[in-house]
Structure 1
Amino acid sequence: MARPKQERAVRTKQLILHAAAEVFDECGYAGTSITRILERAGSTQGAMYFHFKSKEDLARAVIVNQAEGLKLPKDPAGLQQLVDITLHLAHELQRNVLLRAGVRLAVEQEESGLNEYSVYEWWIGQFRRELDVARERGELLPEVDEAEFAGVLVASFTGTQVMSQVATRRTDLPERIASLWRYLLPGLAPGEVRERLVVGVERGETPV
């Protein structure tokens, strides 16, 4: 009997988490209430407080779990894969509500006072893996610092998606990320490497 109860608890937690993501995405942190989340989830206060202590705790869970369900590569493969990942994320932000809400809450943390930086560190780590392989393959300029550039890329992607959200509700985000790479790559990779890289919005339409 224990296993069905555990499975039911996991399903309930995921249901509440995704309902919260939908409401946070629509209303932001300040405009979201526990009541609205529970109505969306079709759940009870008791069930919610069993898994999450507060709205703040729920928002933190959305931020930290924003990459859940993303089909990211298990193994790093270098610069082309890094480009493809960012383009894929641009498309995912258009259709993946958990990712979108997690990104929104991470950017708007002054509203909630969460001060949750770990998700940025996680993305920096993901990008750094690709850059380390790129270095091994001779795809980077000698002066490039892999750790530093990984942070620059996360910051650049974050700012670009914010501008895209304000301007077009992210409908032009893949194009903006492709444009970002066209300006970043000359300071990152030698000419012969850039010539064989493909930077186009179609690269991100399917899982990498």
Structure 2
Amino acid sequence: MASASRSADDREVSRVRILTAAAEIASECGYEGTTISRVTKRSGLPASSVYWFFRDKDHLIAEVVRHSFERWIAAQPRWERDPRDERPLAEGLHAILARSVRTLPDAPDFLRIGHMLLLESREVEAEARQYFLATRDAVAGSIAAWFTSYFGPELQARHPELAMDLARVVLASTDGLFLTHQIHDDWDPDDFIAIVVAIVDQAVADAG
């Protein structure tokens, strides 16, 4: 039993080594420049090990994005409002963003690679691009549901699209912050948070 457990642990260590190597290469060389030979050289593992875990390069890059996202999202505040939470929307939004945006400068692999794939066009859509888009849709849905929890029935009836529009504003803003940080590293998260919260708060006030 102990031997089987060690074997499983060894396999996971190898899998993570491959994912880490592929993430580094994709960040440096893009999707097209990421090759199995480069991954094997960087990871120090043979091609047979790569193909043991991943059927091809497309599957490997998709798993890089998935692995990075799952690690990142596990450390993020949840877009779930406690029914007992009586803070106004602006205060609640500030609390969530104050934690989440500070992780963006660390450049999670799923964001870096996902954005690169969004800008590339190819006849067959990469599996990683599909996963990245599906993940963004799911996150947008969670944020929209969080906004909706603050809206009364009348506001929801008058502006059924408002919550999703605000969710997209939040996502677009954090996208911009992430990309900006790749160019300039002198950023003030508190200023950024204050601007996003003010925009959202004013939009809700105008809609009401």
- The CA distance in 2 between the partners of 1:166 and 1:95, in whole Å, is 10
1:134 to 2:142 alignment:
no
For the Cα contact (< 8 Å) 2:15–2:53, is it kept in 1? yes
Alignment of 1:1-208 (within 5 A): 1-70=3-72, 71-74=75-78, 76-77=80-81, 79=89, 80-95=91-106, 99=108, 101-109=109-117, 110=120, 113-114=125-126, 115-116=129-130, 117-135=133-151, 143=159, 145-162=162-179, 164-165=180-181, 167-168=183-184, 171-172=186-187, 174=189, 175-176=191-192, 178-188=194-204
For the Cα contact (< 8 Å) 2:105–2:178, is it kept in 1? no
Q: Which structure dedicates a bigger proportion of its chain to helix?
A: 2
AA partner of residue 116 (structure 2): E
Q: Which segments of 5 or more consecutive residues in structure 2 lack a partner in the other structure?
A: none
1:118-170 per-residue CA deviation (whole Å, 9 max, x = no partner) reads 1212321332343244347xxx9x747323322332233224422x04531x5
For the Cα contact (< 8 Å) 2:93–2:197, is it kept in 1? no
For the Cα contact (< 8 Å) 1:16–1:41, is it kept in 2? yes
- The CA distance in 2 between the partners of 1:75 and 1:120, in whole Å, is 14
* Shift >6 Å, 4+ stretches: none
**Does the C-alpha gap of structure 1 residues 181 and 167 become closer, same or farther in structure 2, counting only changes over 3 Å?**
farther
TM-score of the two chains, using structure 2 as the length reference: 0.69
- The CA distance in 1 between the partners of 2:71 and 2:44, in whole Å, is 22
SS at match of 1:15: helix
Bigger Rg, which one: 2
- The CA distance in 2 between the partners of 1:157 and 1:75, in whole Å, is 15
Number of equivalences = 183
What is the root-mean-square deviation in Å for CA atoms of aligned residues?
3.3
Cα shift at 1:186 = 1.2
AA partner of residue 94 (structure 1): P
Cα shift at 1:12 = 1.7
SS at match of 2:150: helix
TM-score of the two chains, using structure 1 as the length reference: 0.69
For the Cα contact (< 8 Å) 1:131–1:146, is it kept in 2? yes
Cα shift at 1:10 = 2.0
- The CA distance in 1 between the partners of 2:10 and 2:28, in whole Å, is 27
